[in-house]
A and B are shown apart, each in its own frame.
Chain A
């Protein structure tokens, strides 16, 4: 600390705790002590109070003792002379601030004032938000409020595999709108989540971005929490929950949770504009997490390290930053902030005329904003990647065969085929689909380009803005060339891209591609657990869940859904000492349960002895552990003699008596719990899905989201299981959210599980 900061932070803490107390008193008087308090879609109550104090706040009266916690952490402001030490005291006051701020937000929820509605003119452009059904949010007429558990888990995998290095909390208001946009773009280009809150003299960076027409929401990694400093509690609650979700830590373990954040969550705050008492106090709270603060104004610096791994507080007075204009200064400000947190970020330079970064992956291009589209309803588009003999291709060669889109009228369409040919000493035919799947992410990273689908159902849109900036077809080639070299340089040495818009050529290549797709499908179908000698481990999630290890076989993909056996094989080629290690199956101890000597010994060692035995195909007997980023949770429903499967997109109640979020607490954290298991969506379609427990026929309930989004796949599964109507016999949240509702449904449909051998 510095005495100046300590003084202001401690003063701010005292003020906000007093404010919380007054608000609470009034709220209890107005609404009654039993009025429920809840953040949206979370099993973690008010997460900061839960994590650090172990308090489950569910109604207003629960806040009374919670506020006492905060009061106990307050200290007097240091005097002008002969002060006693203030660092520890400021840290505690910072924590008191967070507890109080969250209580205030909780009260606002109870009063229906949160998430903050936008009360000023205008709206912002929200991104496609796959959970909200709130019309205000959809219309961009309210702030985000706390992050849903679902989103937390969805981001989890990106955070662990490094696609998303961390988050930046931008608090206040940038020097100008131009600067605000630049700062945000810099962060987006590095795929850093941008969390917005606070204001200076009534003006917030959220206003600035609204005015600049920046798309905000989960998909663009820009989350507007609220225009006051209090809203900063949401990102900090997000950080606290990440420790509970992925780190296997329990509520009431403040030290461990904070240490977890210091070590594993790469986050920092940038204070934009003047810093007031409450911002200092909130910053002190953030420093408890090991998150440093960078200010663009003159404030005292705290350079010694310890509580944060790098400097605690840095002042970079904006006008004093060397640079030819504000844009360059903004860029340097962001760079410094990233250095201070020690975030290592690999930025691949992609030579195209629009910004590039995975934060742009979620951008949508609306029909009215669209310059041209390929695929979709009116045209055809495909992408095909194949391995070529080393000398047959030329590295970096990008050819467009046929016309560019300049002749197409605005909002028009045309056919296109993207053919990528790669060569490399370590390249294998098996890796073709792995690499081809990357095209989706690579192309989507360009701002103003939207990519959906794959293979011959690819659908690409180019926005008018991108076209105006000079985006041309050849730029697809530039993107792919740069990214394949950067990300897969270990297996590919040469990349050549050809883009076909010429009708005849396009048809010719489409036929070749389709042939290859069929060939791959057959090969993949033939690839079974029995046909390979080794499985792969995935320990990527150990950066978050230190004892968790996924065992990935051809017939069981990783629980996050992001890694299958082939992905792991390729990843192992790229990085032989990385998180994906081959596991020799060794002697098969039990073919039915899927117990292998090699797998057990690997898991023992990789889980640091936390897990001794693993069955690959059972939920009842030593099921595989889960970190926190599973796509689905399966849980046994004893009354139905079957299992239910809830997907993380489904916020509804389940027959297990718990929502996904609550269940996740049981399934996650790297622990083995018989009868509960996290898994990837596509594991449902595997022949080995719970095969020792009776297989897919055991599924008695499944989120409608799964049924709908994987219709085709399930149709095939039903055929395979010899019961073409099987899917209709499975209940979902629309017909049953309790066992009482489930059982009659199953009886009526004569679900096979009812007559299968008992699970227990």
Chain B
């Protein structure tokens, strides 16, 4: 195995790794290598730097010190570190949601003229959840109230989050009983930060429960609002065909790449690249036009809604630069490596940061302001066009895959029956009958320590082979897209029952639900499945599981926690950040399952992860009294028999009354 194939399964990336090596530039993998050996205390999570008396380290072998200066033990230190990670992740998601709400408010007040309301139906349903009256009111009044109510969710101090009512009744009751019903989005983050200050909460159980609550405030609060408001502003996704991987870069056009998370900017860039004046300008600079592509979740946003190609996920970002074909990379927030700064100095790419929250030292910054969104977008795109002439040699890999994207939960509902009969009934029926063994979500990042995309692919392929319908978000979705798993053709890799469902509905066996904040769509789907009937009455009754095989960001911890807290068996891949505490590990596992029905586990072995998930799914099936999964019973529907018969018709007289040879 070559070094390149150890680093990534993606053929485009493998080619570009060679280019980078030749160019002598340093990449994430190299820096990881340079970090070796990484600190064992830090890896186990038993290092505390919360106050200035630290760093304090607990000896995991029980020989050295067992307590920090203040007396904190390993359980407390680990719980605090874990809780803070989750709080930071939730803060990132929710702050993104807040910005979406602020954009919505600016629009309602007439200060964001470049935006509009694209999905009025969604606006009305969100208004319903937030208790905003809609009868006979001008749309903009409703928009304003929705924005204000949404913003109020962030600052709410007491009571319950409005969106918690979207969870099954039983789930809400469990949260109340466990004392983790979120009160306000920001409050829960602050609560964790305060609680984990030196000399405060020093019982791992209450710390972890607080972490659960702040994560739920993300999943059922900040992130869910973000998804909803994004849909209102830019439209709820419906299926589209789109391209994935570096092959989507153009040799002849100006390549503009968007990277980061917030669609407020990327959607405007999309408008800008279609501006006839700018296109003409690009042509005047020797290009044939402007080609927009994306990376990470901001790419997922424009991919889901407008089919803008994605060229890769987290670990692809540096390699995109090495193609020498990216004339402009515009970034906003989250998951943007600082390494892009020095790297773009080595290549011709113009890197522009835009978020007041995300500068990079030495990199051009254009402050994005939703009041003048399109002007700014045009200004930035023009920088890329101006940069086109600086291209030297390009190495664009030809690798490209097609995919079908755009599965909002609204569309899934429609897909399963149309305007009049849309419901989750067919999905529930499929699980009840055993055509589908269950459903699983595979989400999350790339991690430089695991072969790029490999664990995502393994997990997803194994699941669909076992008739488990898979939904994806974030970098996981992009990873699978690059390997053709999001095309309807991928049904051939699925088990017989899942294949039947794919053929019936016309879906791929793996559904792309959106960006990382759109994990909330999964929560909505799960809630609807639970309320549709026949699969119990809570999310934890459903035969399903969640995976984040290559996670690395703090947001992933928040996501893992809100899924576990919502009743899902959630398996995170790679090294465990809580390995240093048996008690915390047990608490997030068995104890959580007992109290909330879900569990959070860190399992480095992907094979074991899939096996455990399938076992869990079968356990849930049994508890629901569903028939035991048996692949052999299914697979009789579909076009194959008919198509075979029709093939013969050329020379034989067709007997439509017989399928026999």
Residues of A within 8 A of B (CB): 1-4, 6, 52, 73, 78, 81-92, 94-95, 175, 254-255, 258-259, 273-274, 288, 290, 296-307, 312-313, 315, 317-320
Contact = CB atoms under 8 A, between A and B. Distances in A.
Given A2-B503, A273-B656, A298-B658, A305 B417 contact: no
A715 to B, nearest CB: 53
Interface stretch (B30-38, B108-116, B427-435): B427-435
B429 A298 contact: no
Contact of A304 (B422, B504, B655): B504
Contacts of A307: 416-417, 421, 425-426
B642 A4 contact: yes
Given A288-B421, A298-B658, A305 B639 contact: no
A300 B641 contact: yes
Contacts of B433: 304-305
Contacts of A255: 420-421
A52 B420 contact: yes
B239 interface: yes
Task: Select the residue from A4, A296, A312 with max chain B CB neighbours within 10 A.
Answer: A4
A462 to B, nearest CB: 39
B426 A274 contact: no
B418 A95 contact: yes
A561 to B, nearest CB: 35
B414 interface: yes
CB-based closest 7 A-B pairs:
A306-B426, A91-B418, A84-B239, A86-B506, A85-B506, A297-B656, A88-B418
A89 B418 contact: yes
Contacts, number: 158
A596 to B, nearest CB: 38
Contacts of A317: 656-660
A3 B506 contact: yes
24 contacts: A2-B504, A4-B642, A6-B506, A82-B487, A82-B488, A83-B488, A84-B404, A86-B505, A88-B417, A95-B420, A254-B419, A273-B656, A288-B418, A299-B642, A300-B641, A301-B641, A303-B634, A303-B636, A304-B430, A304-B433, A305-B430, A307-B425, A317-B658, A319-B657
A84 B658 contact: no
Given A300-B641, A303-B637, A317-B658, A87 B419 contact: no
Given A2-B637, A319-B655, A304 B642 contact: no
B425 A318 contact: no
B501 interface: yes
Contacts of A2: 503-504, 637-639
A319 B660 CA distance: 9
Nearest to B640: A300
Contacts of B427: 306
Interface in B388-428: 402, 404, 406, 414-423, 425-428
Contacts of A78: 506
Nearest to B502: A85
A88 B429 contact: no
Contacts of A305: 426, 429-430, 433
Given A2-B638, A90-B418, A306-B430, A297 B657 contact: yes
Contacts of B656: 273-274, 297-298, 317
B487 A298 contact: no
Contact of B419 (A88, A290, A297, A315): A88
Interface string B648-661: 00000001111110
Contact of A1 (B406, B504, B641, B655): B504
Contact of B435 (A73, A297, A304, A319): A304
Contacts of B659: 298, 315, 317, 320
Contact of A73 (B419, B425, B426): B419
Interface of B: 239-241, 402, 404, 406, 414-423, 425-430, 433, 435, 487-489, 500-501, 503-507, 634, 636-639, 641-643, 645, 655-660
B420 A288 contact: yes
A236 to B, nearest CB: 13
B657 A318 contact: yes
B481 to A, nearest CB: 12
Task: Report which residue of B241, B428, B503, B660 has the largest number of chain A beta carbons within 10 angstroms of its beta carbon.
Answer: B503
B468 to A, nearest CB: 16
A82 B243 CA distance: 11
Contact of A306 (B239, B425, B487): B425
Given A87-B505, A288-B418, A320-B660, 6 more contacts: A82-B404, A82-B488, A84-B239, A288-B420, A301-B641, A304-B433
Nearest to A7: B639
Nearest to A1: B504
Contacts of A82: 241, 402, 404, 487-489
Contact of B416 (A52, A88, A258, A312): A88
A682 to B, nearest CB: 41
A273 B638 CA distance: 19
Given A303-B500, A319-B658, A320-B659, A92 B419 contact: yes
A92 B417 CA distance: 8
Contacts of B488: 82-83
Nearest to A259: B421
A478 to B, nearest CB: 38
A378 B638 CA distance: 64
A306 B658 contact: no
Contacts of A89: 418
Contacts of B435: 304
Q: Which of B417, B425, B634, B641 has the most CB of A within 10 A?
A: B417
B421 A91 contact: yes
A4 B414 CA distance: 20
Contacts of B658: 298, 317-320
A89 B417 CA distance: 8
A168 to B, nearest CB: 20
Contacts of B417: 87-88, 91, 306-307
Contacts of A319: 655, 657-658, 660
Contact of B500 (A73, A86, A288, A304): A304
B238 to A, nearest CB: 8
A141 to B, nearest CB: 33
Contacts of A94: 418
A84 B655 CA distance: 32
Contact of B422 (A6, A52, A83, A88): A88
Contacts of B239: 84-85
Given A2-B639, A307-B426, A85 B419 contact: no
Contacts of A259: 421
Nearest to A2: B639
Nearest to B656: A297
B506 A83 contact: yes
Given A91-B420, A273-B656, A300 B506 contact: no
Contact of B639 (A4, A90, A290, A303): A4
A88 B415 contact: yes
Given A299-B642, A302-B637, A85 B507 contact: yes
Contacts of A288: 418, 420-421
Contacts of A4: 639, 642-643
Contact of A300 (B507, B638, B660): B638
A84 B406 CA distance: 10
Task: Identify the interface centre among A83, A87, A274: most chain B CB within 10 Å of its CB.
Answer: A87
Nearest to B488: A83
B651 to A, nearest CB: 18
